[in-house]
A = this chain, B = another copy of it.
Amino acid sequence: MLATMLADTATDWAAYARAVLVRAGHHRGAARERLIDLLARQNCALSAIEIEDALRRGRRGQRPVGRASIYRTLELLHAHDLVIRLDVGDGVARYEPAGPTSEHHHHHLLCDHCGRLVPFEDAALERSIEKLSDRLGFRTTDHEVTLRGDCPDCR
């Protein structure tokens, strides 16, 4: 039982995120709960608009989630490093779960042709970025790499 739950990264991340927020002294509200559930369920980056669309229509008579709550919660999650904020330059911010118990750190290829966002991870790239920071004398807390080109489907 417990083992299965812990093996489930989605449940795991949601639980972790809730724990972090409660420990930081936050109450639990409906909007937050639903947003965390939604994010935990998804495995690729979601834009704020997509989140809004998914949560606005509250199913089964649930009270719909307001836009302000969505942005507030995303900001809160981001402040606690529970979420990665991804900017690909099309004017919409995307968010995906992050933290100890979620997927690994990764980057993206943005397809020029179909607009799809393809995640990838590469240890060699990470190593060379780390070396780069040292070489330049920057103390970096984060980095973002975005490739543009044709995704496998569009070649």
Contacts and interface: CB of A to CB of B under 8 A. Distances in A.
Interface of A: 85, 87-89, 91, 93, 109, 112, 118, 120, 122, 124-125, 128-129, 131-133, 135-152, 155
A136 B124 contact: no
A137 B152 contact: yes
Given A91-B91, A128-B128, A129-B145, 16 more contacts: A85-B89, A87-B87, A87-B88, A89-B144, A118-B138, A122-B136, A124-B135, A125-B129, A129-B147, A132-B147, A133-B149, A137-B152, A138-B149, A140-B149, A143-B147, A144-B145
A124 B133 contact: no
Given A149-B140, A149-B141, A131 B124 contact: yes
